[in-house]
Structure 1
Amino acid sequence: MSSGPGLGLRTRKWQPSDHGRYPASEANPARVYNYLVGGKDNYLADYEEAQRFLRVAPELRDTALSNRRFLHRAVRHLAASGISQFLDIGAGLPASPNVHEMAQALNPRARVVYVDNDSIVASHGQARLAGRGTTMISGDLRSPGAILAHDELRRLLDPRQPVAIALTFVLDYIEDEDDPVGLIGRLMDWAAPGSCLILSHATGDFTEDTERDCDVLRFAHPVAVVARDGQGIGKFFTGLDLLAPGLVQLPAWRPGIGAESDPRRVWAYGGVARKP
């Protein structure tokens, strides 16, 4: 799955009850993101909403695609390094190749648990991701205890062994008052030494037209996203050891063979860190 519909679209604070209220005639954040990364699970309203954003800031598509490619590279690297368990929180709608497809291509015994609090995402995931070693559960990052206690997660993931926890374009939804650093700490305390955090986050550090970009952030949209600077995002890795090249603009994280977005058009940081 391709995580995270957040791309710097901010109006009001997100509420859990917002999700699951989007008929096909209304744009849904997860479906808009799905359209931006080339997925098929979207409708005319989502296309129109995406085009509305892209007319003002075409960089949003580059940022979404670069985020997905970053996740792919990180999963492949960790799977090749021996990690066989993955927890993708804020997973978004299925969009091939999904995390389990990449991980299981390198290790057929890899196990993946997807988590999302959007009922539309959860229903799609539960219907399409019921394969061997893979499951989808409903959960909210702001309630990590409920996620970690879920029967399906406990069935597939062993906290005594290293696990890769993916939070790509998810912390963008978490206000400082909800203690995002503490939420990550709860997850990493549960995970065994050698576990890794895969994290990406939207930012305003790389934008050039401040007035235009502020207009994008003010677009009428039902989901509030917090665009932090590099220093603020770096705090999410407290107590962890960042893998080279550290916290960098997404295209700069271990670039490989294949197309990548122009860094000038990518408004996000990414990094991978290991628990000592």
Structure 2
Amino acid sequence: MELTNLETLAEQQADTINHLKEKIEELGRQIMNQQQYVEERVRSDGASGLKQKRATHKGTRDYFTDSFGYSQIAAVHDHSNYDRTVGMGELNAVLNGVDFRTRHNDYKLYMPSLTKPDYHKTEPIPFPPVPPSVTAKHSVADQIQEMREYFKAFRDQNPQHRNYVPYFKPLLCYLEGAWTTDTKSLTEPFHSDRHFLDAASWFDLQTKVRYTSYTGGKSNSENYSYLPTKITAIRNGTVEYAQWNYRIVCHPVKTNLGRYDLQKVNDVAARFAMRQTNDQLSISRIPRFTFLANHNARKKWYKL
């Protein structure tokens, strides 16, 4: 009799455990559906792109608050004191429905590796040669003066003054993101000489971001990123996670592009906030531009 009761109890416990497993899987699938709902909602709100840069201004009108621009577009700034480095602050971006926030970027002019198949491998963008008329000068001061003439020719788009075209090569730098399966160890999105993810693990990073978001603070070193984690599958009761990550890399452009291949966008909010005309903004870091693929009525797309 006692053995029968034990067997019955064991069967009941096994049924309870199986029932709980089924419910956990159902809840997990519902969480996955909720995540998909959030992403679909973000997708329907607008296309991928820059949503918000770090905010340093406010005022009595909406246009006094930073969005994707204000005093500088995309928080871009100068870092000529570092090798191959483009200054770029924190960003809030959307890629294919994923809303995320970056650390201070300050990315380097690197491109995906041409020799190594590993996704994370990059290599420096090759520099163009120095103009022979510059290297022919016998003093540094004369070389600097001659190089300035090339910059003037580029500014004026005048190859007759100096043939700058072989020495001023355009680059396309872009931000890309993906869901990765590397959820155990924190992986830097890309190399920067100045900034890094200040956390021991993805969980540690999420905890720090949660604290700063709740308290309205930030990392003084600007080394936190909000990079979401989601459930991607549940197999045999085992939950599989995916970690969102991003990087900024560049690509050499084969076609010669000039200043006049770019068209300035009239951002009314930036003009109102700075109390400047569209032409006045042109000589600052404030304006953004669109790419004219059919400049001079040439009905073709440039080949990158």
> What TM-score do you get using the length of structure 2 for normalisation?
0.23
The structure with higher relative contact order (CA 8 Å, sep 6+) is 1
Judging by fraction of residues, say which structure has more strand. 2
> What TM-score do you get using the length of structure 1 for normalisation?
0.25
Bigger Rg, structure 1 or 2: 2
Judging by fraction of residues, say which structure has more helix. 1
